[in-house]
Amino acid sequence: MLKNIPVGDTERPVPRWALRLAKALPFIVLPHCLWRLPFAFDFRMGTVDPNAGAYVWWAAPYVIGLSVVTEALTILTLGLVSGWGEVFPRWVPVLRGRRVPPLAAVVPAALGGLVLAVLFDGMPLGWLGVFKEVGYSNGWWMVLGRVCTSTAMFWGPATLALAWAYYRRRRPGAA
């Protein structure tokens, strides 16, 4: 799927690290999305939460939709290293062919990166007991849960780094 998305076809060269990071980001966050899926069908993955409610019918569409949206947003960061992030594609009504104002991409990417950092980068504090965390029935479930969900901690900083690289490349007077 990502193979057919043109990346690096930009007016000014994209740093190699930014290209690699943008292409890798959907795969970096994928374990977090896959970890969620069993919860959609009331399989608790070894978590012990006395406050967990009973299974509800809308859990499956919600959790699956959340994972799909998460992956779609990681794929959207490819626009920060692609030509379609600099010029609106033909299929966009009214705007097609016009240049994307740099701040129209940088501001949402930076705000999104900050929100993601706030959401996920505090996880180690929960592991250290600073914040309350859901318990696990045994150490193996805990290790698997932390390994799978910890990949989301890279999403915010990666998005911020890609937004910075995009801004540097697209700012007025950039060489």
Contact 59, 44 (CB under 8 A): no
pTM score, whole prediction: 0.89
Residue 5 β-bridge partners? none
Confidence of residue 175 (pLDDT cuts 50, 70, 90): low
Tell me what percent of the residues of the chain surpass a pLDDT of 90. 70
- What pLDDT score does 97 carry? 86
Long-range Cβ contacts of 130-137 (<8 Å, 24+ apart): 134/47, 134/48, 134/49, 135/47, 135/48, 135/49, 136/46, 136/47, 136/48, 137/46, 137/47, 137/48
pLDDT tens across 116-167, in order?
Answer: 999 999 999 988 889 888 899 999 999 999 999 999 999 999 999 999 999 9
pLDDT tens across 1-20, in order?
Answer: 445 556 768 888 999 999 99
CA distance 89 to 75: 16
